[in-house]
Structure 1
Amino acid sequence: MELTSDRISLTPFDQSDFALFVELSMSPVVMEHVYTPFTLEEATAAFEEKTKPWTINSHAWLCFGIKEKTSGEKLGNIGIKITDHKAKIAETGFMIKPGAQGKGFAGEALKLIKDYVFNALALNKLTATCAVANTGSYRLLEKTGFTREARLRQNTVINNRYVDDYVYGLCRHDL
């Protein structure tokens, strides 16, 4: 399976995504608003979990590597996890390496994921959660049609500090 736009392609995680996943997961700069950076062992275990076979009935993440089509450069990753199979709700999350941020790649990846979730998987809602200080992520979510639905106080612990999160949602009928 491959999801493509003019500039990028998304393919399910494989071993070629390992190095960048580990780099991003261990980076204090990239993880500042996401979670406490992983150790190498934690990053390796997380990657192995995210590369397991996935079906529409899975309770795990389906993760895609984001690659620039012309150069073949790995830019980051994006994934979905069905959080409520009966209500047809999935969550999405993404990480883009610093050198690729602010160039529209995450927006393109998010648009591809939205199409996949609503058209190929026929789900009803897509959600995303991000730290209130993660202005880049929440602005992107808003720009791509998501609605801020809640602020969850002290919802996440990052680097031993409680962090508030915003929850965003996009329903099929919003498109």
Structure 2
Amino acid sequence: MKLTGKRIQLSPLDHSDYDLFIELSMSSQVMEHVYTPFTYAEAKAAFEVKSQPWAATSEHWLTLGITEIVTGEKLGSIGVKIVNHQANIAEVGFMVKPSAQGKGFASEALSLLKEYAFTELGVNKLTATCSVNNIGSYQLLEKLGFEREDCLRQNTKLNNKLVDDYVYGLCLAM
């Protein structure tokens, strides 16, 4: 399975995504608003989980590597997890390396994933959760039609500090 846009391609994580996944998962800069950076062992274990085969009935994430088509450069990853199979609700999440941020790659990746989730997976609603301090992520979500539905106070512990999170939702237009 591959999703192809104008500048990027999304495909299930494989060995070619390993080095960047580990780097991003251990980076204090990238993880500042996501979670406490992983140790190497934790990052390796997370990669193994996120790169396993996936089906629409799976309980784990479908994680896709983001690759620039022209250069073949690995830019990050994006994923979807069906969190409620009965109501067809899925969560999305993404990580893009700093040198690729602000260039529209995450926007294109999320647009491709949205289309796939609604048309191929039959999802009724997409959700996303991000730190209130993660301005780039929530601006991207809002740009692509996600609506802020809630603010969860002291919802996530990052670097031994409780932070608030915004919850976003996007429903399939009926």
TM-score between both structures, scaled by the size of structure 1: 0.98
- Aligned positions, number: 174
In 2, Cα distance between equivalents of 1:120 and 1:57? 13
- Residue 170 of structure 1 is matched in structure 2 by 170
1:54 deviates by 0.8
The CA deviation string for residues 84-117 of structure 1, in whole angstroms up to 9 with x for no partner, is 0000000000000000000000000000000000
In the TM superposition, structure 1's runs of 4+ consecutive aligned residues that sit over 4 Å from their partners are none
Q: State the AA in 2 paired with 1:111.
A: S
The CA deviation string for residues 4-31 of structure 1, in whole angstroms up to 9 with x for no partner, is 1110000001111110000000000000
- Residue 75 of structure 1 is matched in structure 2 by 75
TM-score between both structures, scaled by the size of structure 2: 0.99
In 2, Cα distance between equivalents of 1:53 and 1:110? 21
1:75-114 equivalences in 2 (<5 Å): 75-114=75-114
In 2, Cα distance between equivalents of 1:158 and 1:22? 18
1:51 deviates by 1.0
User: Is it true that 1:116 corresponds to 2:116 in the alignment?
Assistant: yes
1:2 deviates by 0.5
User: Is it true that 1:37 corresponds to 2:43 in the alignment?
Assistant: no
In 2, Cα distance between equivalents of 1:117 and 1:140? 18
In 1, Cα distance between equivalents of 2:15 and 2:103? 26
In 2, Cα distance between equivalents of 1:51 and 1:143? 29
- Residue 156 of structure 1 is matched in structure 2 by 156
Gap regions ≥5 residues in structure 2? none
Q: State the AA in 2 paired with 1:81.
A: K
Tell me the secondary structure at the aligned position of residue 78 of structure 2: strand
In 1, Cα distance between equivalents of 2:173 and 2:2? 25
RMSD, aligned CA: 0.7
Tell me the secondary structure at the aligned position of residue 99 of structure 1: helix
- Residue 125 of structure 1 is matched in structure 2 by 125
- Residue 141 of structure 1 is matched in structure 2 by 141
Once the two structures are aligned, what percentage of the paired residues are identical? Answer: 64
- Residue 59 of structure 2 is matched in structure 1 by 59
The CA deviation string for residues 126-169 of structure 1, in whole angstroms up to 9 with x for no partner, is 00000000000000000000000000000000000001000000
In 2, Cα distance between equivalents of 1:71 and 1:15? 18
Gap regions ≥5 residues in structure 1? none
Q: State the AA in 2 paired with 1:156.
A: T
